[in-house]
């Protein structure tokens, strides 16, 4: 996929996502790809970033990536740990979160996400875990970043269920529902960086990762892709970014395979 | 007033067929031993309430004990799907179950409303979300002061709540530490609460005054079950058995493998078997 053999598309995705976070962000972290990106940001250019997991851990700094949103290390390294109702009422609903960082099973071009069902809700072909915190993260965080690897099954013209609301049908749909937060402002995939068109809110490719072609982006996306007129190339990962990510993943692998032996709660 | 009881007796005295029951624990302190005891006693037609039904509800659903589940995330945390729950929802096996699905914010607010003695919870939620269209218990109210339209859900009032906690003192007061999740609200929202603990200590005199302590008169029964939340963890006692969560994905994928595992690891075991399961996960210090 890439001309450069020195990094994988997934590493590029995680590192590109990490760069979008700022040192003063207060980030509500989704598990999986968002969690890796947020911690790479914390370990490189954003050491003071506040990472919040929905288990109630505020300002956490884990040494390994948590397998779940409630791993013990999140609590041990947090500035404070609050009860779940407080998490959702005071901190999320209260407007304290600058970035909600979500992954997606199914995504459409307006940043609406489905992690609930494939098929009909009452007679599902595949029952997925559901929304968890996402429905309110998507509307109460000031902005939403989304990260996922591109596939035709994942990036679809029409999602089967609106687990969390992005820009709905596009345009001013959020405003019409009385939602005053910005919603999805950034999508980082393994091939490209996307931003919503200012008027239509449709995700548009603004930067291709090194070595990636427009055709590759289209072949792995279920909707007709729009490209910005001035298309950038995403800077390749730096030595520091790559080393940080790989060390983090190696520590994580060792800890999880070790049945928790490596680090007790 | 709280009674210290063997787990078998605590479950038998407090759980009934047809009850609405919450076995709560937000990734941490999951009351696995209590759930396994309920499975051994073979209760039927339960309404299972939990924000994050994970392995124990997959097991109870797979054993045909649930007529309904109320939840906000029906997954194996960090691993993927719950395959026994999926089989019930997708195929009606071993029986069809009713589902009532919320978001975490919805469930958390509903438990808090239950603890607060309110009939419903009001919060800013479900805006644009598909759940509002498929769950008739998600409604809206208009703020009488600002006119803002807010979400409303009925409060959660379980017949009985089970939780696991670090310790009780000799009088039966209970300390919960670390990721405290929704445990306090789930206990105070319920008609009866049963708590399993890692240990009993003489007193709580040396505790910081603002810790989460459930007074003894909020609890019906306490059972001492070291390791009782395995493969979840107990902060300060033992780590999460991540490998067990990964293994569950394979066990639950197959109906016969599941039954064989349940027979060997739940039906033929007792609460006394939990301590050995966490031995390798205890802190070296």
Span B75-102, pLDDT tens digits: 998 888 999 999 999 999 999 999 999 9
Three-class secondary structure of residue A136 per DSSP: helix
Average pLDDT over residues A189-210: 98
A150 within domain boundaries = yes
Residue B143 touches chain A, beta carbons under 8 Å: no
Residues of chain A with Cβ-Cβ distance to B180 below 8 Å are 56, 81, 83
The verdict on whether omega for the bond into residue B147 sits within 30 degrees of 0, i.e. cis, is no
CA angle A174, A179, A182 (to 5 degrees): 70
Domain count, chain A: 1
Residue ranges matching CATH 3.40.1080.10 in chain B: 3-102+157-281
pLDDT category of residue A69 using cuts at 50, 70 and 90:
confident
User: Which chain A residue has the Cα nearest residue B150?
Assistant: A178
The CATH number given to whatever domain includes residue A77 is: 3.40.1080.10
Interface contact B280, partner A, CB < 8 A = yes
Query: What is the model's pLDDT at position A68?
Result: 83
Would you call B178 and A263 a contact, using CB atoms and an 8 Å cutoff?
A: no
Q: Is the pLDDT of residue A2 over 90?
A: no
Count the neighbouring beta carbons within 10 Å of the beta carbon of residue B283. 11
Rama region for B208: left / alpha / beta (φ>0; ψ in -120 to 50; rest): beta
Average pLDDT over every residue of A88-93: 98
* Interface confidence (ipTM) of the complex: 0.95
What is d(CA A172, CA A136) in angstroms, rounded to the nearest whole number? Answer: 19
In a domain, A22, yes or no: yes
Tokens coding A3: 């001309």
Query: Quick check: A66 and B78 CB within 8 A?
Result: yes
Instruction: Show residues of chain B in contact with A30, CB under 8 Å.
Output: none
Q: How confident is the model at residue A5 (pLDDT cuts 50, 70, 90)?
A: low
- Residue A235 C-alpha, separation from nearest chain B C-alpha, in angstroms: 31
Global pTM reads 0.95
Substitution target in B88, B130, B163, B235 with the highest count of A β-carbons within 10 Å is: B130
Which structure tokens are listed for A205? 């490719």
Does A73 qualify as catalytic in the annotation?
Answer: no
Q: Are strands A99-102 and A80-81 parallel, antiparallel or unpaired?
A: unpaired
Contacts of A28 in chain B (CB under 8 A): none
- Chain A residue numbers touching B178 (CB-CB < 8 A): 72, 75, 81, 265
> Average of pLDDT values for A41-54?
97
Is the pLDDT at A1 greater than 60? The verdict is no
Using one digit for the tens of pLDDT, what is the confidence trace for B151-170?
A: 999 999 999 999 999 999 99
Q: Which of A11, A54, A73, A202 is catalytic?
A: A54
Q: What is the DSSP letter of A92?
A: I
Domain extent for A78: 9-257
pLDDT reported for residue A3? 45
Residues B119-137 pLDDT 10s? 999 999 999 999 999 999 9
Render pLDDT for B19-71 as a digit per residue (tens, 0 to 9): 999 999 999 999 999 999 999 999 999 999 999 999 999 999 999 999 999 99
Half-sphere exposure of B228 (CA within 13 A, CB side): 29
Q: Over 60: is that where the pLDDT of A265 sits?
A: no
Written in H, E and C, the secondary structure of chain B is CCEECCHHHHHHHHCCCCCEEEECCCCCCCCHHHHHHHHHHCCCCEEEECCCCCHHHHHHHHCCCEEEEEECCCEECCCEECHHHHHHHHHCCCCCCEEEECCHHHHHHHHHHHHCCCCEEEECCCCCCCHHHHCCCCEEEECCCCCCEEEEEECCCCCEEEEEEEEEECCCCEEECCCCCCHHHHHHHCCEEEEEEEEEECCCCCCCCCCEEECHHHCCEEEECCCCCCCCCECCCECCCHHHHHHHHHHCCCHHHHHHHHHHHHHCCCHHHHHHHCHHHECCC
List the 230-269 stretch of B: residues with Cβ below 8 A of A: 233-246
- Nearest beta carbon to residue A93 from set B27, B124, B126: B124
Please answer yes or no on whether B127 and A93 come within 8 Å at the CB atom: no
Q: Mean pLDDT over residues A212-221, rounded? A: 98
Give the separation between CA A122 and CA A46, rounded to whole angstroms: 44
What is B3-102+157-281's CATH superfamily?
Answer: Glutaconate Coenzyme A-transferase (3.40.1080.10)
Which residue has tokens 């999926």?
B86
When pLDDT is cut at 50, 70 and 90, the band that residue A257 belongs to is confident
Residues of A in contact with B237 (CB under 8 A): 265
d(CA B85, CA B111): 23
Is residue A251 included in any domain, yes or no? Answer: yes
* Residue whose C-alpha is closest to residue A164's, from A125, A135, A142, A206: A135
Q: Closest chain B residue to A85 measured between Cα atoms?
A: B108
Q: What average pLDDT does range A187-212 have in this prediction?
A: 98
């Amino acid at each position: 996929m890439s001309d450069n053999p020195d990094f994988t598309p997934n590493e590029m995705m995680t590192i590109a996502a990490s760069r979008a976070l700022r040192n003063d962000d207060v980030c509500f972290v989704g598990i999986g790809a968002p969690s890796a990106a947020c911690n790479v940001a914390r370990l490189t250019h954003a050491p003071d970033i506040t990472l919040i997991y929905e288990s109630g851990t505020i300002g956490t700094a884990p040494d390994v990536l948590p397998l779940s949103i409630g791993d013990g290390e999140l609590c041990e390294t947090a500035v404070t740990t609050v009860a779940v109702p407080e998490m959702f009422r005071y901190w999320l609903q209260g407007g304290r979160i600058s970035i909600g960082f979500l992954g997606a099973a199914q995504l459409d071009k307006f940043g609406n996400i489905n992690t609930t069902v494939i098929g009909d809700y009452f007679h599902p072909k595949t029952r997925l875990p559901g929304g968890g915190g996402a429905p309110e993260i998507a509307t109460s965080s000031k902005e939403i970043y989304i990260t996922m690897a591109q596939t035709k099954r994942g990036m679809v013209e029409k999602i089967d269920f609106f687990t969390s609301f992005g820009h709905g049908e596009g345009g001013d749909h959020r405003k019409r529902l009385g939602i005053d937060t910005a919603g999805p402002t950034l999508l980082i995939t393994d091939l490209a960086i996307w931003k919503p068109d200012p008027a239509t809110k449709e995700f548009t490719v603004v930067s291709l990762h090194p070595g990636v072609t427009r055709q590759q982006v289209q072949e792995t996306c279920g909707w007709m892709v729009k490209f910005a007129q001035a298309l950038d190339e995403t800077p390749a990962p730096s030595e520091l970014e790559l080393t940080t990510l790989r060390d983090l993943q190696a520590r994580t692998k060792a800890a999880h395979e070790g049945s928790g032996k490596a680090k007790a709660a | 007033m709280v009674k210290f009881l063997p787990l078998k007796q605590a479950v038998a005295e407090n759980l009934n067929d047809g009850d609405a029951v919450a076995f709560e624990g937000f990734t941490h302190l999951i009351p696995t031993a209590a759930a396994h005891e309920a499975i051994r006693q073979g209760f039927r037609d339960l309404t299972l309430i939990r924000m994050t039904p994970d392995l124990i509800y997959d097991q109870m659903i797979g054993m045909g004990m649930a007529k309904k589940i109320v939840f906000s995330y029906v997954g194996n945390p960090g691993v993927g799907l719950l395959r026994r729950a999926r089989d019930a929802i997708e195929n009606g096996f071993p029986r069809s179950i009713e589902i009532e699905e919320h978001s975490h914010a919805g469930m958390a607010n509903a438990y808090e409303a239950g603890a607060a003695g309110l009939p419903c919870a009001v919060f800013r939620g479900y805006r644009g979300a598909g759940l509002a269209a498929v769950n008739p218990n998600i409604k809206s109210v208009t703020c009488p002061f600002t006119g803002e339209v807010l979400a409303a859900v009925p409060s959660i009032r379980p017949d009985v709540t089970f939780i696991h906690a670090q310790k009780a003192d000799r009088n039966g007061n209970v300390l919960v530490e670390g990721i405290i999740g929704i445990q306090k609200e789930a206990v105070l929202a319920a008609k009866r609460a049963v708590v399993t603990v890692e240990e009993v200590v003489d007193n709580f005199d040396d505790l910081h005054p603002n810790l989460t302590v459930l007074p003894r008169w909020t609890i019906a029964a306490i059972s001492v079950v070291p390791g009782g939340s395995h493969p979840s963890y107990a902060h300060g006692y033992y780590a999460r058995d991540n490998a067990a969560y990964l293994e569950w994905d394979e066990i639950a994928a197959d109906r016969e493998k599941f039954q064989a595992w349940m027979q060997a690891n739940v039906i033929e075991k007792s609460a006394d078997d939990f301590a050995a399961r966490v031995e390798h996960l205890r802190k070296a210090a």
